[in-house]
Each structure stands twice: as structure tokens, then as C-alpha cells.
């Protein structure tokens, strides 16, 4: 086996290790996010006042909390 092959395999192994570490971190972030969302979903929604503004505010709140793009960093 030539030195080129050894260097190539070593480089690929290091790249794979970095990728697996990133995947592990993303999986951990996903587990935390899912746990938080499940806890929120298990609580009943209560309204202090039942009018259109309150409902729209709650909907916007839920949409902000459920944004998956903030959980996982997807490489471009």
C-alpha cells in the first residue's frame, strides 16, 4: 500500500469521525427539542381572555416554538 493510500484513508476516517460527531450533536438537540415539545403538548391550553387577538398571539407563540430549523444545523 502506498503512502498516498494511507494518507487518503486517514483523511477519510477523520472526516467520517467529524461527521458522526456532528450527527450525534444534532440527534441530542432533536431529543431535547422533542422532549420540550412533548411536555408543551401535554399541558392544556388556557386562555385568560377569549378574543381574536389572544388566539392569534397563542398561535404565533406555538409556531415560533415548533421551528425545526433552529434545532438542527443542516449544511448547505
Q: Locate the domains of the chain by residue range.
A: 3-66
pLDDT attached to residue 41: 84
Gap between the terminal Cα atoms of the chain: 35
Kindly report, residue by residue over 13-63, the tens digit of the pLDDT: 999 999 999 999 999 999 999 999 899 888 887 766 778 888 888 788 878
More confident residue, 45 or 70: 45
Q: Which three cell numbers stand for residue 47?
A: 386562555
Q: What is the CA radius of gyration of the chain?
A: 22
Does residue 8 or residue 73 have the better pLDDT? 8
Three-state SS for 15?
Answer: helix
In eight-state DSSP terms, residue 33 is H
Q: Cα 53 from chain centroid?
A: 30
Amino acid at each position: 500500500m502506498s503512502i498516498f493510500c494511507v494518507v487518503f484513508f486517514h483523511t477519510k476516517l477523520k472526516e467520517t469521525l467529524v461527521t458522526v460527531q456532528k450527527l450525534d450533536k444534532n440527534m441530542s438537540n432533536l431529543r431535547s427539542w422533542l422532549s420540550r415539545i412533548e411536555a408543551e403538548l401535554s399541558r392544556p391550553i388556557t386562555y385568560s381572555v377569549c378574543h381574536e387577538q389572544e388566539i392569534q398571539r397563542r398561535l404565533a407563540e406555538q409556531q415560533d416554538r415548533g421551528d425545526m430549523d433552529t434545532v438542527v444545523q443542516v449544511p448547505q
